[in-house]
Structure 1
Amino acid sequence: MNSAQLPALVAFANVARHGSFTRAAAESGVSASALSQSIRALEAQLNVRLFNRTTRRVALTEAGAQFLERVQPALAMLAAACESLDEARGEATGTLRINLSRVASDLLVMPHLSEFTRRYPRVTVELALDEGLSDVVGEGFDAGIRLGERLARDMVAIPLSGPLRIVVAGSPAYFARFPKPATPDDLTQHDCLRYRFATSRGIYRWEFAQPAAPRRSFEVQTQGSFVTNDLRTMVQAAEQGVGLLHVIEDYVRPQLADGRLLRVLDDWALTFDGFSLYMPSRVQMPLKLRVFVDFLKEKHRPEAAGRARR
């Protein structure tokens, strides 16, 4: 093995991560045919087949999987070594790949993205929106952002926001047709907008808390004429009067403030842990990620969040 083979090893890891020559080539900015030729040359040099190829799928062979397990840590160390040179100069640089949910993107990152990119012009931010809990290491991400209650135990979690509150809301047009529910039991008489998880394909069960202490939480199975796996689409449907919405309060704060949506069942509202950035415990945080975390914490600390809401 020599240094001339390093680009082929990087290409090999990228194809393995994507499970596709086309997607890996698009990310790398080369043609799929050039990438395929690079992998074939590597296989010839190693005298082993690394991938099984079909017209629909690219999968690692057993030997390829074993090779990847050894190659990935070495490539990560090389990338960290290169980035450490910039860190020694105190300059954040490189591509920062973050996996996060739609609501985390809309609430935490996108309102402040322009300022972050101006402050750190040598950091390229890549956001991958995904409602599942992704394998940040296996899929090549620096970190993920999810609600604290959904994080795996072997992850380091850094809180980015305070507690969040759920709100049930509907449009004035909806309540012109239906009476406001007084308790969650009344929801059986209402058209509820339902969210389908993209990974499990299950329907989200609405969560509430008893109004009196101790505030025990419970779930309600709702019914309705509209189902989606996109939160923005669900909010738009609620604004049109299609049905009732069950969502994080901050996500619809403008609609609540201007009367496009009216809140109900406030006494039963559930409060839960906010968003956290997560990464494996064995990974040392690079400067590009450290400045991103500090920036988000700066923007979402309680006093800053309070100013933003007024």
Structure 2
Amino acid sequence: MNSSIYNALTIFHTIVAEGSIAGAARRLQMASPSVSQSLKLLENHIGLPLLNRTTRKMELTEAGHRLIDSTQNALQSLSTAVETVQDLSEKPKGLVRMTVPHIAYWLLFEPRLGEFAEQFPDIQLEISINDGTVDILKQGFDLGFRFGNQVEEQMVAKKLTEPFRLGIYASKTYQQKYGLPNTINALQQHKLIGFRFATSNRVMPLTLQDKGENLRIEMPMPIIVNSLVVAKSAILQGVGIGRFFEPLMAIQPDKQKFIPVLEKHWQSFGALYIYFMQHSQKVGRIKAVIEFFTTTE
């Protein structure tokens, strides 16, 4: 494979990850016509169209799907191998792209960003906040964060936190209007701020623990959100009773405005993990980020 085809493959993968030629051009810091020309070169070399392009969207053809699936791991491995050798003579530097849910950012990143920047001045972090489950390989990320250690083949997950509870809270405004429930049965007469998962598009059920059993509770939902930031705001304004992670509430500057509800019945949630491609941990800049955030302060 000559260098022009290798470069064209790399650009093609970036187009697919970004969803557009313009997006790929921005990420690669290239002119859009140059990206288009590279795609045309690759299609001519293969003899088949790889993308169906309209003014509204871009979709992979069957040939495009096959090319992505058959070259993704090989390109990543080759890139990693080159970077690993380069790292022998250099201190960690370069861009590290990561997808991070709100809770991981607030608990792990926000308190230590300044420390990281001081320790690794040549590493540039690109942090994409996303509460959904992300395929980091397809989306072009180096690292991801999620609950649980169930990851795809050829990926590694490292534990960052112990399991913690998903708390239920109300505001003083809500308490003054409606009072607070003191039993699970009474809770069902109140309003719940619903939460929809970003990836599955499924509304999270309210589950409580009672005498060793998990109980699913049905409640009216005046509002459904997919962001912890919005959920917190809705709780504070008295829209309903809402869920918020216990360690996250503990670091909120206005935590005194929130009242725990039925605390002894709170559900235990999983631990947070960082996940990444197995071979990528050999790359200096990625290894530095992994080790920094998996090391206790």
Query: How far 1:234 sits from its partner (Å)?
Result: 1.1
Query: How far 1:188 sits from its partner (Å)?
Result: 1.7
Gapped runs of 5+ residues in structure 1? 305-310
Aligned CA RMSD, in angstroms, stands at 2.4
State the alpha-carbon separation in 1 of the partners of residues 265 and 253 from structure 2. Answer: 17
Q: In the TM superposition, what are the counterparts of 1:154-193 in structure 2 within 5 Å?
A: 154=153, 155-193=155-193
Give the stretch that moved more between structures: 100-109 or 242-251.
Answer: 100-109
State the alpha-carbon separation in 2 of the partners of residues 27 and 153 from structure 1. Answer: 25
Q: In the TM superposition, what are the counterparts of 1:104-183 in structure 2 within 5 Å?
A: 104-148=104-148, 151-152=150-151, 154=153, 155-183=155-183
Which amino acid counterpart does residue 97 of structure 1 have in structure 2?
Answer: R
State the alpha-carbon separation in 2 of the partners of residues 88 and 133 from structure 1. Answer: 34
**1:271 is matched with which residue: 258, 268, 271?**
268
Question: Conserved in 2, the CA contact under 8 Å of 1:163 and 1:271?
Answer: yes
Query: How far 1:220 sits from its partner (Å)?
Result: 1.7
Gapped runs of 5+ residues in structure 2? none
Give the stretch that moved more between structures: 72-81 or 184-193.
Answer: 72-81
Spell out, residue by residue over 1:132-180, the C-alpha distance to the aligned partner (whole angstroms, 9 max, x if none): 222222222222111117x346453210011211211111121111222
Give the secondary structure class of the aligned counterpart of 1:259.
helix
Spell out, residue by residue over 1:40-62, the C-alpha distance to the aligned partner (whole angstroms, 9 max, x if none): 13323443322222222222222
State the alpha-carbon separation in 2 of the partners of residues 249 and 32 from structure 1. Answer: 46
Which amino acid counterpart does residue 276 of structure 1 have in structure 2?
Answer: Y
Structure 1 outlier segments of 4+, above 6 Å: none
Query: How far 1:274 sits from its partner (Å)?
Result: 1.5
Which amino acid counterpart does residue 221 of structure 1 have in structure 2?
Answer: E
State the alpha-carbon separation in 2 of the partners of residues 228 and 27 from structure 1. Answer: 30
Report the TM-score, using the length of structure 1 for normalisation: 0.85
State the alpha-carbon separation in 2 of the partners of residues 46 and 202 from structure 1. Answer: 40
State the alpha-carbon separation in 1 of the partners of residues 60 and 37 from structure 2. Answer: 16
Partner of 2:197: 197
State the alpha-carbon separation in 2 of the partners of residues 128 and 106 from structure 1. Answer: 13
State the alpha-carbon separation in 2 of the partners of residues 206 and 277 from structure 1. Answer: 26
Query: How far 1:87 sits from its partner (Å)?
Result: 2.7
Query: How far 1:77 sits from its partner (Å)?
Result: 3.0
Q: Tell me if 1:295 matches 2:287.
A: no
Spell out, residue by residue over 1:50-109, the C-alpha distance to the aligned partner (whole angstroms, 9 max, x if none): 222222222222223333334333432332133213431362223212222222222222
Partner of 1:229: 226
State the alpha-carbon separation in 1 of the partners of residues 230 and 243 from structure 2. Answer: 13
Query: How far 1:30 sits from its partner (Å)?
Result: 2.6
Spell out, residue by residue over 1:237-294, the C-alpha distance to the aligned partner (whole angstroms, 9 max, x if none): 2112222121111222245875211112111122232101123556654332322222
Same amino acid, percent of matched pairs: 28
Question: Conserved in 1, the CA contact under 8 Å of 2:131 and 2:227?
Answer: no
CA gap of 1:109–1:177, structure 2 versus 1, over 3 A, is: same
Between Structure 1 and Structure 2, how many residues are aligned? 296
Give the secondary structure class of the aligned counterpart of 2:110.
helix
Q: Tell me if 1:253 matches 2:256.
A: no
State the alpha-carbon separation in 1 of the partners of residues 94 and 219 from structure 2. Answer: 45
**2:217 is matched with which residue: 220, 224, 227?**
220
Q: In the TM superposition, what are the counterparts of 1:74-85 in structure 2 within 5 Å?
A: 74-85=74-85
State the alpha-carbon separation in 2 of the partners of residues 137 and 258 from structure 1. Answer: 37
State the alpha-carbon separation in 2 of the partners of residues 263 and 51 from structure 1. Answer: 52
CA gap of 1:257–1:60, structure 2 versus 1, over 3 A, is: closer
Question: Conserved in 1, the CA contact under 8 Å of 2:77 and 2:279?
Answer: no
